[in-house]
Amino acid sequence: MKFNKFFKFTKKQSAPHDTLFKKIDIQKSIVLRLQIFALVIVVGLSAILWRFYDVQINKQAYYQQSLDNYTRRLYNVSAPRGEIMDRNHEMLVSNAEQLIITFLPPLNLKESDRWEIAESFSQHFDMEVEKMSLNAQKDAYLHYHFDAGLALLSKTIQNQYKQEEISKDEITAFIREALDEDHLTRLTDGQKSIWLVKRAMDEPSGGRPKPIKENASKTEIAFLMEHLDDFPGFDVQVAWSRNYPFEHTLKTVLGSISTQTQGVPAESLLSYMALDYARNDAVGRSGLEYQYEDLLNGSRSVYNLSYDDQGVGILDNYRIGKKGLDLITSFDINWQRYAEAAVVDIFEAEANNPYRKYMDTIHFVALDVNTGDVHLMVSVNKTEDGYYFDPLTTIYNAYPVGSSVKSAVLYMGLNEAVVRPNEVIVDQPIKIKDTPLKKSFVTLGPVNDIIAISRSSNIYMFFIAMRLGGARYVYDGPLNIDLKAFALMRNYFSQFGLGTYTQIDLPNEQTGYKGSARNGGLLLDFAIGQYDNYTTMQMAQYAATIASNGKRIAPRVVLQGNDPITGNLAFLNKVNVISQLENPEALERVQTGMRLCVASHYCHSYLSSFKTPLAAKTGTAEAFITVDDKNINVSHFTLVGYAPFEQPEIAFACVVPAALNDRLQSNICLKISHDILRFKYE
């Protein structure tokens, strides 16, 4: 065949169709695939078994903890707050045990059951409805007497509500606005009591028991324990209130805390919750309780919350808490009480003095010269109802202080070289164009810098101010002063603590009042303490800065915090040196003038009677008060000083606003300071 011409085959060659149709070893192929599949299964099972072993054996504790953390409901209970003591460990603020009835909602408790429980509870427990707020009464009225409230509104508004043109929230707001105290008399005490209980039961609590009644009596607790089955979810907890052994003394400085019902202030809720506080935790609201909240607030006990077969919550101890740190303050409570009593005695002695009839407030502060420790913060206000004690006003209320600032003015003049040490200036009245005569209380004649302090020369200070402002004095001529001198004088005053924050460790300190008008005459007033206003604490820091050779130290109220169990030091409030005056020679002239004031001149009465030598400077500031729509001219009396003169320990400041009227009287701060300081120096 022709076909064979083209294709010749030998034994070593196969025909094409033999290659294409060669037998395949199916058995071998299947076995190979099964082996591969088996290997994959073995590897996969090995991985699964290893993972199972890793989870169940190696990491069992880790995953069990993760599961517990995910499913556990934890409840925090506040530990007792740290206590507060004076420098001699006399108790100023202690903890008093308080019984609180709480409610932890059982599972699946119906709304109708809640109302029944609230009604039953209100029948057996005093909810103090007389303290119910106006807003709470309106809420209760809207619940019990909504239709009566609706009837108080105009027909137009009522129709709009019925036609659903006004929402329920809007109509509720209208009714609340229309309600007055007469309408609220429709509420019975029983309705008020039920509403208070139900509202407390419904408060959000994040799974924590809610306080229903604080400060429950032992009789009420005994009744609840006997009838717990009638009040599902109710229980008793021990909480802590604050006790003040010395009552009003230093009360505003020590501060206050919220109750569990008040809880965390709404305006600070987010910041407190970020620190793991609960809404109903008691927190510091003022004073040291607020300033040192992080130290006084202990670590909370933690309980695990679960439910029994009846749906009643059960708390199991999970972590034990710890009381907050005990704070040691700088106060000497015995001296503080002595000082307050001395001030009250002075008020009583001056009660019938017609020239002190507007004197109703006395401030006094004493600081440790070397550490800034606040030994005394005294502020007594005489009212028609008795005496009110608020030492915080020594860092809030500011007054013009008169000649007490002259020590700072002299230092400034010497440091700026506008006067020289021992330079004599004739103290005689001066006249600025278009202004009344300016003069010292008594025309002193020639005085040097030291006498200018001890005898309180206004003229000497006026010349310092004029030279500071680049003015040349001409009798009855204009006074052209560089107004930058105001800022320069303020800067010097601030180096002593005047017109700036003293940096005391109490909240809301004020810096006083700064005058805004600018002219030459006002600069002269500034130099004699008749322009800016200062607090008593600023004045005390000013005196302490002079006494400590120019070292300005922040006043401190808290010295340290101690562990409540071991008593070991856990927090130390270190001495804070803010700044240092740089001219010791100028400061020495100031100190000598203040010592001479006590030894021979205006500060001599009362203060010179101590065996311990003192240094001081008086001040009188002219002011006015408004009485029955009339302006009455008065004088504020001030005094700053320190003792002993050679090695100062205590610096003090006294401020008495409206200390005299109509007729000259002695500077009562001299007697006040004498009567207070004799506790220490007599």
Catalytic residue ranges: 403
Q: For 66-81, b where at least 16 C-beta lie within 10 A, e where not — what string?
A: eeeeeeeeebbbbbbb
The residue whose two tokens read 């800034």 is 372
Alpha helices by DSSP H, 203-286: 218-226, 251-254, 269-274
* Cis, peptide link before residue 644, omega less than 30° from 0: yes
| Crossing angle between the packed helical segments 668-681 and 333-349, to the nearest 10 degrees | 150
Q: How would you classify the pairing of strands 84-85 and 210-213?
A: unpaired
Separation between Cα atoms, residue 513 and residue 446, nearest integer Å: 34
| Burial annotation 464-479 (CB, 10 A radius, 16+ → b, else e) | bbbbbbebeeeeeeeb
Give Cα 173 to chain centroid, integer Å: 35
- C-alpha to C-alpha distances, 656 to 363, 427, 639, nearest whole angstrom: 6, 28, 9
Q: How far is CA 334 from the centre of its chain?
A: 25
What is the β-pairing status of strands 551-553 and 425-427? unpaired
Report residue 391: phi and psi, to 5°.
-65, -20
What DSSP assignment string belongs to 607-632?
Answer: HTTSSS--EEEEEEEEEEEEETTEEE
Q: Are 395 and 504 in contact (CB under 8 A)?
A: yes
Containing H/E element for 311?
A: none
Give the largest CA-CA distance in the chain: 159
Of 176, 116, 186, 113, which Cα lies nearest the Cα of 150?
176
Contact between 527 and 409 under an 8 Å Cβ cutoff? The reply is yes
Separation between Cα atoms, residue 328 and residue 660, nearest integer Å:
39
Q: Are 314 and 304 in contact (CB under 8 A)?
A: no
Rounded CA separation 494/578 (Å): 11
Strand intervals (E) in 515-568: 534-535, 551-553, 558-562
- The tally of CA atoms less than 13 A away on the side-chain side of residue 613 is 12
- Dihedral of the alpha carbons of 421, 425, 430, 432, in degrees to the nearest 10: -50
Q: Quick check: helix, strand or coil at residue 397?
A: coil
- In sequence order, what DSSP letters do the residues of 446-481 get, joined into one string? EE-HHHHHHTT-HHHHHHHHHHHTT----TTB----
